[in-house]
Amino acid sequence: MHDATAQTDGQGPLIDPFGRAVTYLRVSVTDRCDFRCTYCMAETMQFLPKSEVLNLEEIDRIASAFIRRGVRKVRLTGGEPLVRRGIVGLVDSLSRHLGRGLDELTLTTNGNQLVKHAETLAAAGVRRVNVSLDTLDPDRFRRITRWGELRRVLEGIEAAKAAGLFVKINTVALRGINDDELGDMVAWCGREGHDLTFIETMPMGEIDEDRTDRYLPLSGVRAALAQRFTLTETDYATGGPARYVNVAETGRRIGFITPLTHNFCESCNRVRLTATGMLYMCLGQDDSADLRAAVRRSACDADLDAAIAEAITRKPKGHDFVIGRGGPRAAVARHMSVTGG
């Protein structure tokens, strides 16, 4: 039975109102990125002033408070986390918790800076990275990312493998953009030894196009893949929202993250910390808690612990994502790059 006293005095696990233990913290270390992916950002973005962004010591302090309260997995995201100055030092510092409450310290990246950082990340305790990659066609890659070079990302993936990092590929399924090569992506991941997760586009932040034109339900993607590959159910899980199948022909797994066609909220164990220190208890809701104020108010962690505990009492049962004709506006105003991918 959950101890309500332990919940509020800075001790014990973080349990939300629906009995779900919060064991997974995603931390956006920056809202900046070296790409401008069309489904994620507007081409001209206003980024946060540095005074509003948590410094690395503040990020470490907040993450450590969560780890004390039972968080077992921390994922660093952005924007693009590897453009944050000092990021490897933060990873190195947080790695002190590995084996002491923290099971895994991971990173989601666009891969553009991996050639530079792969070895140092591995040396700092990272064992697994997720690389966002939506196409294997160089021209299409440039159109999607606006600025990116596919060759550089593929070299980064190779550098990560050479450093001993397990690489999982994340692909956003986009109607009319990459829907004709999703099977080829499965085959490529099989050859390269990567697991793959497909993600439905999420209605977050105003961008330069109507998302209803790009939304592709993953139920249809899975049905199409089943014409080419033998897919079997598996209970494999990484602690995130993806539901996985095994691919007999490649020996790898495919995950499906389906916030719109199949709500995954009933087992949600996650909260998200933005680069400004706002804690979002749900990706698809606007309710948040200001942990930056708590951490800057006092060098003692009592205020921080109390703010975290209070926030978890407001974690909702589910999100409000919907995409449909007549309702193309973003479900939440902030861009995915602000909350953390």
Q: Is 39 annotated as a binding residue?
A: yes
Q: Is 168 annotated as a binding residue?
A: yes
Q: Is 29 annotated as a binding residue?
A: no
- How many beta carbons lie within 10 A of that of residue 99, not counting itself? 9
SS (H, E, C) the chain: CCCHHHHHCCCCCCECCCCCECCEEEEECCCCCCCCCCCCCCCCCCCCCHHHCCCHHHHHHHHHHHHHCCCCEEEEECCCHHHCCCHHHHHHHHHHHECCCECEEEEEECCCCHHHHHHHHHHCCCCEEEEECCCCCHHHHHHHHCCCCHHHHHHHHHHHHHCCCEEEEEEEEECCCCCCCHHHHHHHHHHHCCEEEEEECCCECCCCCCHHHCECCHHHHHHHHCCCCCEEECCCCCCCCCEEEEECCCCEEEEEECCCCCCCHHHCCEEEECCCCEEECCCCCCCEEEHHHHHHHCCCCHHHHHHHHHHHCCCCCCCCCCCECCECCCCECCCHHHHCC
Contact 254, 231 (CB under 8 A): yes
- Kindly tell me the sign of the dihedral angle through the C-alpha atoms of 307, 313, 318, 322: negative
Q: Is 61 annotated as a binding residue?
A: no
Q: Is 135 annotated as a binding residue?
A: no
Q: Is 234 annotated as a binding residue?
A: no
Q: Is 189 annotated as a binding residue?
A: no
Q: Is 26 annotated as a binding residue?
A: yes
Q: Is 191 annotated as a binding residue?
A: no
Q: Is 40 annotated as a binding residue?
A: yes
Q: Is 108 annotated as a binding residue?
A: yes
Tell how strand 278-280 and strand 288-290 pair up. antiparallel
Q: Is 270 annotated as a binding residue?
A: yes
Question: What distance in Å separates the CA atoms of residue 221 and residue 255, rounded to the nearest whole number?
Answer: 12
Q: Is 33 annotated as a binding residue?
A: yes
Q: Is 314 annotated as a binding residue?
A: no
- How many beta carbons lie within 10 A of that of residue 246, not counting itself? 16
Contact 136, 185 (CB under 8 A): yes
Q: Is 300 annotated as a binding residue?
A: no
Q: Residue ranges for the binding site for GTP?
A: 26, 75, 108, 168, 270-272
Q: Residue ranges for the binding site for [4Fe-4S] cluster?
A: 33, 37, 40, 265, 268, 282
Q: Residue ranges for the binding site for S-adenosyl-L-methionine?
A: 39, 79, 132, 202
Q: Residue ranges for the binding site?
A: 26, 33, 37, 39-40, 75, 79, 108, 132, 168, 202, 265, 268, 270-272, 282
